[in-house]
Each structure stands twice: as C-alpha cells, then as structure tokens.
Structure 1
Amino acid sequence: MEQHSKCYCSVPFCSNSKRKQPYLSFHDFPKDKHLRSKWIAAIRREENVTFTVLRGSTYVCSQHFRSEELYVKEGGSRSRLKKGSVPSRFAWNHFESRHEDRLTPYERASTPLLLNTEAATGERVEQGLEAMLTEPNANAMEHDYCRPPSPGKMDAAAARIRELEQKVMELEKEIKQLTLLADQPKLNRFCSTDEEFRFYTRFPSEEVFMMFWGSVAPSASRIVYWTKAQREAYGTPSPHRKLGLIDECFLFLCRIAAGLKEQALASMFKVSLSTVSRIIITWTSYFYLVLGSQPSWMTRQQVQATMPKKIHQYCPEVRVLIDCTEVRGETATSVTVQSESFSHYKNHTTFKSLVGVAPCGVITFVSKLYTGSISNQELTRRSNFTRLLQPGDGVMADKGFQIEGMLAEVGATLIIPPFKRSVQFTKEDAEKTQAIARLRVLVERAIRRVKEYHIWDGVVPLSFTGLVNQLWAICCLMSNYQGPLDIMEDKPV
C-alpha cells in the first residue's frame, strides 16, 4: 500500500511520522492474527476502546525493526519487511529513537527519585537502581557520549547535513551574484537602451557616451576633492570613495541633463546628501577645466570645409553666428541686485550669455553669464569675442546687434538680413534673406539643445551663483556631442 504523509508510528513514546521523517518506512500490522498479536504484545499495547488496529491507518515505523529484517525490492524505493518479522527495538530495551526519550545525566544520577515514573521507563529505573546498589559510582561515571548514536539519529543527521550543505551552496551562489552586481557600474542599472542614455546624459547613445568617457577617464582618475585636500592639510585621513569614477560622472550628468534633485540622487546611488553635493562640485570644476581647455574655436579652413553649400553660395565669408540667450534666476532681496539682473525683455530676473555657432552647427564660443539688464552690444564687448576674429571674417547676427564699429576695428564685417528699402525685395535680397534665415535657425537650435539640459528648467537659485558660469559652459560644450544639427538645404525655413 502506498504510504501517505499522514503515517504515524503507533509505538508508545515514538513520535515519528512520514511528514517529519520521510526517510523512514511505515508498516501495517500483519493480516495473520497470531503474528499480529505478537506485534501488539511487542509494542506493549492492548486492543481496546482506545487502541484498535486498522488496516491502512495503524503503522509501526522501520526504526523498531532490525536492519536484517528490512529489504528493498529490486527497482523499488521503499523498505519492505521480511515475512514473520516482529518489532523488537524500543525505548524500554535501550533503543532510543529520539533524543528526548533518553534520560539526562541528572536523571540517571537521580534514578532512586524516579521510582514512580511512567510505566514505559519503569524497567530502566529498576536497572538504574540495581546498578547503584551494586556499583555506587557507576552512574556517576556515565555520560551521554558513552553510548554510540542510534541508526535513526545517524540517518536523520546525514539528511540534515545534506540539507544544510545544499542551503550553504545556494547562499554562496547568491552572495557571489550580489558581489558581481555590486562591482558593476550603477549606470547599467538605469541605462540599458540608447533612449535611457539620452534621457539621463543627453548623449545620443551608449556608444557615444563610452567614447566620451574613454577620453576623460585617464585624467578623471587623478581627481582630488577639495574636502580631501582640507583633510590632508589638517592630517585627517580621507574617506574611501563610495562610488566608482564612471558612476560619479553618471551622477553628475543625471543632475545637469535629467535635472534630478540631489536628494533623489542620494537615494538612487545609496550615498549621503553631502556626498552628492561634493561629487557635483568636484565634477563641475573638472569638466569646466577639461572641456574649456580643448580648442573649440574653428579655424577659417575648418569653417569653409564644413559650411553647407547653400550658405556658401550667399554668405561665403561668414565665420560665426552669434546670439544672446537668457536663463531665469532667483530674485535677490537687494533692490540694487534686482535692478541689475532684471530683464525687460523677459520681464524677470535673468542671467544672459553670448553664444557663437559655426555654420556647421557646432558651438564654438560661450561667454560668461551676466546680469539680465546688460545690452547685446555691451555683452559682446565684455566677452572679448572680437579678439578671436580675423580681417575678412563675417559675423552673422540679427538686426538687434549694433556692433558694426566694434567688428570694423578688427577688420570683420556684420552680416544681417537686408533692410527693406522699397515696396518689395529684389530677387537677390529675397534669396539672401532666406539663406541668412536658414543659417540663423542653427543658432536657435543650438541654444535649444543647451536649454534641454533640465537643470535650466526651473529658476537658478542664488546658491548656484558660484557654479552657474561653469555649468553653463559645460552644457554648451557637451551639447556638441549630440551630433550635427539637421540642416535642410532643399527646404525653405
């Protein structure tokens, strides 16, 4: 009969069950009345109202049979009994199936006090009393380890050991996976597609980002935080870097490109708020130094080689296109500062910058941010933009730039859309206006790319005043890594 999980041993003081000890086999009482009566007498039970032998529900476990009485049928998995076998291994004849059935050393030493114990242990108490009368020191010398463990306990221990070994292997595998995951750059957890890289970093793809990182990684490895310099000055050791270099770079890009707040970044990267602030300050200075040291101003030969054909046809002498743009800033409490930074064009407190773009769409010049009340002419003069020009260069701007005299000092010319002097433009003026307008769109697109860095979405706080110039230059120069602007020469603007 197939054994189910609710098999229980009917021997007194044995609590084995198929659910707790699945490695044991449970055997029905025999059908032969004579042999069944031997089983009942052997287990010291009597059939009455409280105990009835029922086929399929009354069992004796395999621990109460000798090993030679058990066998496994060929091709089978369950132990079977030899014909005529009778259970003979019990707690009262010195076979303990469970640890709790054994007497403790204190109980064995105190056997005279246990004369009124249960009937199942009476025989053991009598033997202990007899041993104490004949050999008074016999129980005092006996210990738990004097007896070898029972076969049932050895089987249970072996099964438990195998179970624990399997659990240890699983935990070691899990620890290894967690270690590998911890060693991987955290950017891999957030960026798995080009769209995610574009959102978090503004780089068009993972390939472009990794190329950029490969170019700056050697110098980034020598970054020293200003806090570390302070600690070394006072003899205090610097703390261990909690993030890898590439993760710190990614954190900085998440701040300026995705516009994530510092508290959100601290939660994402599992670091403190002060660590996030230190990383942003350090990498702002680093990128401003690295990107600002690279030559961004294009030579006349480079401009001519990359100039669109349509522009070259009407404005071959153009070297750069310029325009001013503004970002909103927090209003100061000082009336004087408010008046200086208030922009009548935006009707708000702003910071203003001059941006220069080559005809191919690359930003080649970025000025510092000035207060919003400054005029375009004054901003152009203060930015020292004209020092980069050569005689014969053409500078394209809108009609609001009155800088002809300033450009004439260095031999450059101002290219602006022609003014309407009659009722209708001539064909040449119309084509030139269209060409200039098409090229002017490049400046707007380039500036729009810069402002798509979400750090400029809100109002620039006054606490950012010390970093705002560096962040503005970084965003302008990094926008060039997004690829060429779309110049549709065959379509009117």
Structure 2
Amino acid sequence: MPDSCAAWGCKNRRTAQSRSLGITFHKFPKAKEVRRQWEIAVRRKGFSASRSSVLCSEHFKLQDFDSTGQTVRIRNGAQPSVFNFPKHLQRPVTSRTTKTSRKAEEKLSVDTFPILKETEPLIVDHSYALPSSPTDLKARLVEALARVESLEREMRNVKDRERRAKKMVHGLLEDLRRNRQSPCFVKIKHKLYRTKLRNLHIR
C-alpha cells in the first residue's frame, strides 16, 4: 500500500503520479524532540508518528530542503509549516526553545541564501520550455507571432492561386462550349480520335 501523507486533510500518496508532479515524501525525524515538533505541527489530536509515517514535500518551505545530494532531503532542524488548516486548528507552531534548535535555526538562516543562489539559474533544455527572463520570453513570443503571420500570408496566397486556376479552367470550358463547332475544335476532336484509335491498334 502506498505511503500517505500524515498531515491533516492532505491526500497525497506516494505514487507514480505524485512522483511525476515532483512531490517527495519524508519520514519523521528519529530525534525525539524534533519528531515531537513535527507531530505537533500536523495538528492531529493524539497523533504519534510511527516508523512508516511520512509528510509530503508540500508542507515544507523551499529553504527547508537540501538538494545537494542524489536525493532531496529535509534539512536538520527544519519543521513542516505549510498547511491548509480549518480555523479551529490554526495556531502558531511551537517556537524553538532549546539550544540545539536555536543553533539549527541560525545555521538555516546562514545557509539559505547561498543555496537559493545556486538554484537560481533556469536551464532551458527543451524548445517548449519558458525562457528564464522576460526579455527572452518577449523575443520568443515575437518570433512565434511572426511565424504565424507568415503562415497566414502563405495560406492566403495559396487560396488566391487556387481561385485564379479555377477561374482560368472555368473560362477555358466556356470557350470550348462556345466553339464546339468551330474548325479548330473539330480538328482537335479528330486528332484525339485518331490518337485513340492508334492506341487501340497498338494494344
């Protein structure tokens, strides 16, 4: 059975679909003090996390994550703080009071800025990915609109050529109807008839 997020009202489960959406799941800390802070943060009365209890990544802020390794982890001392609680459950998360927690908080505030700077550049791997700056985005948009306009002009030209060709054919047919008995038309018919007979003889 897939792991389910332990947060109040959260229905995220560890599935292929959640993985494709970039949602990760994280077990409760082993340290009793931090573990208890997580349990209080989820606002579930009488809740006690088991070994398999997890919280999904949607309940953490960006600076709570450590992505320097091969897997995404929660930083030491970080607490879940992003929830959608009803009014009767909305109250401040217990503040850090211990020396260890304060140190972790200080380290987090120092480390956050460099980490965010490292992850700031956006690598555009595909032609359909959005550019990283408004200027590039505007240039891409102008290019796309110009291409659309060019295709529309080309389509209009094709339709105009088609109309002219139909008009010319219609005019030729009218001329043939009017000159059906003219010597020139009779000569053409006779030539076509002889060609047809010759082809039959060859066969």
Task: Give TM-score, length-normalised by structure 2.
Answer: 0.42
Q: Which of 1 and 2 has higher RCO (CA within 8 Å, sep 6+)? A: 2
Larger Rg: 1
